Amino acid sequence: MTNLSINGKTITIFGFILLLAITFTYALTIHFAYADSTETAATTYPDKIMEQVRQSLGERKHSTNLDEEIMALPKAEVMDLYFDAHGRTKGFGPEMREVVLMIFGVNLDAISSMEKLGVSIFSKGLWITQQPHDLFVLHSGNNDVDVMIYPTDYFKEETGLDGLPEKLTDRLKELGFIYNEDLEAYYYEHPDGIPIPDEEKHPIMGAILKTIEEDYSHLLY
């Protein structure tokens, strides 16, 4: 494996690219780092990201002709294009996403796949995914011990409802959720005070997605 010498220290090309991947992951995520649930989704990535992706698509790095198309892409694909702009990292995006998952526990593919499903996800103080036409918000606490679910302003405007639809609230109640008037959301806290395990998270997300599929898919963009 090729080595680089930086400040008298030797690092591998792989390590250098991993550093780029981590930086990229942070850059994508930080645009959703707002605690206010009414904050709109970011309309662009940092200049460094946009310039590399534009070049990967054959456009001049300062041209904005393809920006709308770029922002419509899944984040995983944006990551691939970013790394494709570096000749020595051609096609390295998928491996980098796997490495980021293994080391940091950040599943970029899973996050990317959620972007068009109508659910905003707030976790550990960051917006993991948030789109202008999302219908519901899944808001986890800092330690994933609790979670609350509430409708977006877009959902309320389009449906005339002030809260979650009855079909969804019935499903959430079956999973142990209760309505919290102070939060104006359906709330669940793990009874043992530990992070909610994946086997409990999946039914929660399933309840939301099933409700969207049955009654509100026409509101998705």
Summarised one tens digit per residue, pLDDT across range 50-92 is 888 898 899 998 999 999 999 888 777 887 788 777 665 555 6
19 shares a domain with 108: yes
Residues in the chain: 221
Cβ contact 47:38 at 8 Å: no
Cβ contact 136:149 at 8 Å: yes
User: Residue type at 138?
Assistant: L
Summarised one tens digit per residue, pLDDT across range 157-198 is 999 999 999 999 999 999 999 999 999 999 999 999 998 887
Q: What is the model's pTM?
A: 0.58
Q: Return the structure tokens found at 83.
A: 């790394």
Helix (H, G, I), strand (E, B) or coil at 29: helix
* Number of domains composing the chain: 2
177 shares a domain with 109: no
Distance CA 171, CA 175 (A): 7
68 shares a domain with 140: no
Domain extent, residue 135, equals 118-221
Domain end among 113, 143, 173? 113
The DSSP code for 143 is: T
